[in-house]
Every structure is written in C-alpha cells, then in structure tokens.
Amino acid sequence: MSETQHFRKHGKSWEEIVAHCRVLVLDLDFPAVRAWKQQTGGKAVGCFPVYTPQELIAAAGGLPVTLYGGRGLLEIDHADSRIQSFVCSIARSTLELGLANHLDWMDGFVVPSICDVARNLSGVWQRNFPGQFVFYLHLPQNVDSASSLVYYRGELERFRARLAELTGRAVSDQALQSAIRTYNRNRELLAELYRRRTVQPEQWPASHIYALAGVGNVLPREEHNQLLEAALALGESRPRPKRDWVRVALRGMFCEQPPLELLEVLEEAGCAVVDDDAQIGARFFLEPVADNGDPLTALAEAYLHQTVLTPVNNPGQRSRSEDLLGRCREKWIQGVVFASAKFCEPALYDAVRLKRAVEHAGLPTLEFEYEEKMTVFESVRMQAETFVESVLFFS
Ligand code: SF4
C-alpha cells in the first residue's frame, strides 16, 4: 500500500501526515526507496542537488532519489580520509552515506556540474565505488550562447543512452513525454503549496511545507502528487491562530540543507518564511516543460530559459538581485535572512551581492552560516528574535 493510500485508509490528520513525511525525509536508511525496489525490482538512482533532469530516470523505469547528505545525523568516520575536510558538509556526508552502506540500494549516482566540490565528489565517488554507474552531467554555463541548446540537448542524449545501459530499457520519446507531464503536475502542486504559504504563512508553516515537499525526494513522483493533493485538501481545514510576525525570504539553502530545527527556530522567533530556496531543484522550472515535440529539446529549452535563479545557474544573465527584490515587493516581504551553508562558496559569494542590494533597497537583513551537524540553535534564535523585534518596532 502506498503512503497516500495508507493516509486515506486510516484517516490521518495533517499533523500525522507531516510527521510521517518528516520521518521519511530524515531516515538515512531510505525505507521508502527500499520498499519501492522490493515492489518493482527497478533501479534507484541517487541525484546530487541542485537540479537533475529526473524525468529521464523516471522514463527509464528508475526511481530518482535526491540525496541531501547526512542531514546532521551521521558521524563522518570514513569520508574525511577520502575527501577534503574543508569542503561543505553535504559533499562529505553524502560520501559517508555511501561508505557506511546507507546507500547500498543505489544503482547509480548522478552529479550535476554545479561547483568544483560537486565535480570533485563525482571523481572521488568513481574511485571509491568502482563499477557503479556514475554520471557527471555537464550543464551549460553560458546559456546565452547560440550553441547551448545543441550542446545541452546532446548532453541529455548522452544521459538517455547511459540510463538505457543501466536499466536495460530504452527511453522512448513517448515515455519521456509522459514523465514530463508527471513532473509538470508535481511542480504545479508544489507551486500551489508554496503559494498558499505565501498568502497564509500561519496556516502553512514553512517547516511543514519542507517535509511535504521533501518526501518527494524519496517517492515516485506519481505517489508524491497524490500525497500533495491530499495535503492541499487537508491543510485548508485546520485554521491556526494568526501571529504578529515578520514576513521574510530565506536564501542560501539551494544545495546543502539546514537542520529542520533551524526552520522551526526561525518560525518560533517570529519569522514567517514566505519565500525560500530550500530543496529548490524540485521547483526549478517556472513554467511547465513542453510535453509535445522533441522531449530532449523541451528539457534543454526549459533549463536554458525558464529556471529559477540560484548561484549555480543563471539563465539569460537575469539579475539575481533584481529577482530577489521583485519577489520581496510581490510577496510583501519585510526582511531577508541569508542562511548559507558553511564552506559553500557559491552561496557565500552570492550572499555578499544580494545583501548589499537588499539593504540598499531599505530592507533589513539577518545573516548567519549553518552546518548539517549544527545542534545548538540558541544563538540563531536570539539573532532572529532581535531581528524580528527590530523590524516590528522600528521599521
Ligand atoms: S553546498 Fe555549495 S559548495 Fe557544496 S556542493 Fe553544494 S553548491 Fe557546491
């Protein structure tokens, strides 16, 4: 029985669904993935953040699983002897997950070319897991070049061929179009979930939304879609008291994820998170991907022209500062919290420019770094409470 059928059959409440999703998100033994493999006999493919064209894996009959490292729940016992200790936590703890056999279900690993650390991890992985399917996906860097479409479509074709070798199943255009439709529906449901949070943050707490969205990283998209439909229906019917709080945007969480407690502490301190870049890969496209015509061209076009902006992709050289300020205006945001993963150069470099632009526009900011293994949140709580008070009483 699927997770969603289970919820429906047993008449679960919103809190129970969220709690269950949270357990699945944080379980480093990936029980949902193991159950899927047992039921289907299919291949499960781990995907490093930020964005992988998972439609191709699904169309090949596989299960794409986004890996977000050790979630702060893993001791690094083996990885530090195989990868630099001064890189971000997610690279080290993802390797540790593999070395400590938490990923023994994994039939393949895809690493997109988001940064030097990811590139290095892909090579280190190949050395440490010889014989495993590892695919380093070369994303186009200069998206304004006329050659980018041809180049990236070719890269997707290469990925399609390698996946067919892994799964033993050729990926037809029809299967890929069908997967694109399923993923479009998933992005539509996620967009609706986040839209409702923007309108009524007290009704749709960011930490709950995080768990509901995050469970999609370990479930087939069809099942995640059913779960989101159930959650959207249920979430409206449980009014929560309004609060005096400050509407904020969160930036810096596009790849390595903070401990979930960090989101909860920010909310408890009075920050209503109405815009964020956490787990952004599942929400990467701003428009539905075309589900007719050549599906590889459609995926390539979408990557080149209609993605959200993050420090590791820059479609059309749009200004990330302008984009953030536009979102602040549109969503009545009163301040921006820059929470960046320690040692994440893309996030930390970006924060400098964005913070300057936000402050120049007259909006207050709060900035700190986090690590996966962070367990003490009192300092962040105090900073957030002071930030909220200063916005509420002095703006
Ligand atoms: S957290 Fe930052 S530095 Fe680390 S892999 Fe992700 S983008 Fe690269």
Write a three-state SS string for 57-125: HHHCCCEEEECCCCCCCCCCCCHHHCCCCCCCHHHHHHHHHHHCCCCCCEEEEEEECCCHHHHHHHHHH
Answer yes or no: are the C-beta atoms of 312 and 346 closer than 8 Å: yes
Q: CATH assignment of 30-175?
A: 3.40.50.11890
Q: What does the alpha-carbon distance between residue 65 and residue 51 come to, in Å, rounded to a whole number?
A: 12
pLDDT attached to residue 314: 75
Ligand 1: nearest atom to the Cα of 347: 2
Nearest-atom index, ligand 1, CA of 345: 3
Query: How wide is the angle at C-alpha 279 spanned by C-alphas 44 and 15, nearest 5°?
Result: 90
Residues with CB under 6 A from ligand 1: 88, 90-91, 114-115, 117-118, 255-256, 312, 341, 344-347
Q: Whose CA is closest to atom 2 on ligand 1?
A: 344
Q: Which helix (H) or strand (E) holds 131?
A: none
User: What is the pLDDT tens value at each position of the chain, 395 positions in all?
Assistant: 555 555 655 567 888 889 999 999 999 999 999 999 999 999 999 999 999 999 999 999 999 999 999 998 999 999 999 998 889 999 999 999 999 999 999 999 999 999 999 999 999 999 999 999 999 999 998 888 889 999 999 999 999 999 999 999 999 999 999 999 999 999 999 999 999 999 999 999 999 999 999 999 999 999 999 999 989 988 877 777 778 899 999 999 999 999 999 999 999 999 999 999 999 999 999 999 999 999 999 999 999 999 999 999 877 778 999 999 999 999 999 999 999 999 999 999 999 999 999 999 999 999 999 999 888 999 999 999 999 999 998 76
Supply the pLDDT for residue 5: 58
Report CA(91)–ligand 1 centroid distance (Å).
Answer: 7
**Mapping DSSP to helix (H, G, I), strand (E, B) and coil, where does residue 367 land?**
strand
The residues spanned by each domain of the chain are: 30-175
CA 183/CA 92 separation, integer angstroms: 29
pLDDT reported for residue 242:
79
Q: Are 24 and 31 in contact (CB under 8 A)?
A: yes
Closest ligand 1 atom to Cα of 49: 6
Residue 218 has φ and ψ, to the nearest 5°, of: -125, 5
> Inter-axis angle of helices 206-214 and 14-26, to 10 degrees?
60
Atom of ligand 1 nearest to the CA of 343: 3
CA 92 to centroid of ligand 1, rounded, Å = 11
Q: 99-106 long-range CB contacts below 8 Å, 24 or more apart?
A: 99/128, 100/74, 102/28, 102/29, 102/30, 102/74, 103/30, 103/46, 103/67, 105/30, 105/33, 105/34, 105/37, 105/44, 106/44, 106/45, 106/46, 106/65, 106/132
So what's the pLDDT on residue 93?
97
